[in-house]
Amino acid sequence: MTNPVPPSAETILVVPVYSQLANLAFALRREVFMREQGVSHADEYDDKDKDCTHLVTVREGEVVATLRILWLPEHAKIGRFAVRQSLRNQRVGSRLFAATLELIRQNGGEHIGLEAQVDRIAFYERFGFHAYGEEYLDAGILHRRMKNY
């Protein structure tokens, strides 16, 4: 496993939805969800981005990871979590996810939920989430709901 850039060279930022960095995050989402996973444009784009908090990981001036938080009444919902393919399995995703949990807690959010692709469930379990309910297809990919409460 190569790790050419140390974690200290990484910056995790909250970015406004109408910004250059958010646009780079949306480009990364298209790369990962549409081109890599075959999700349709209609399934990747919804009208919720403008209501979400967007986080990005910047490395050497490029957005290499992103996710969004949707503040629902029942919980803060984490979604659209993507790491550039060439940088996976180097903890980029774990660091962004941990920073996101911290941000939600700082904002008074105790209850956090997400919809996990079933082969990602173990990742979220390491952060204290547990799956519940039936498996279902979303954008042609098997998912299960998870929460930390």
Ligand X SMILES: CC(C)(COP(=O)(O)OP(=O)(O)OC[C@H]1O[C@@H](n2cnc3c(N)ncnc32)[C@H](O)[C@@H]1OP(=O)(O)O)[C@@H](O)C(=O)NCCC(=O)NCCS
Nearer to ligand X, 92 or 112 (CB): 92
Nearer to ligand X, 15 or 39 (CB): 39
Q: If binding is defined by CB under 6 A, does position 22 make contact with ligand X?
A: no
As measured in angstroms, the least distance from the Cβ of 6 to ligand X is 13
Residues whose CB falls within 8 Å of the CB of residue 4, separated by 6 or more in sequence, listed in order: none
- The region that residue 45 occupies, defined by phi over 0 for left and psi between -120 and 50 for alpha, beta otherwise, is beta
As measured in angstroms, the least distance from the Cβ of 109 to ligand X is 19
Among residue numbers 26 through 55, which ones bind ligand X (CB under 6 A)? 32
Residues whose CB falls within 8 Å of the CB of residue 99, separated by 6 or more in sequence, listed in order: 12, 55
DSSP state of 45: -
Q: Which residue has the tokens 């279902």?
A: 136
Q: If binding is defined by CB under 6 A, does position 122 make contact with ligand X?
A: yes
136 token code pair: 């279902």
**Size of the chain, expressed as the number of residues it contains:** 149
Among residue numbers 56 through 95, which ones bind ligand X (CB under 6 A)? 81-83, 88-94
Nearer to ligand X, 53 or 66 (CB): 66
Binding residues vs ligand X (CB under 6 A): 1, 32, 81-83, 88-94, 116-117, 120, 122-123
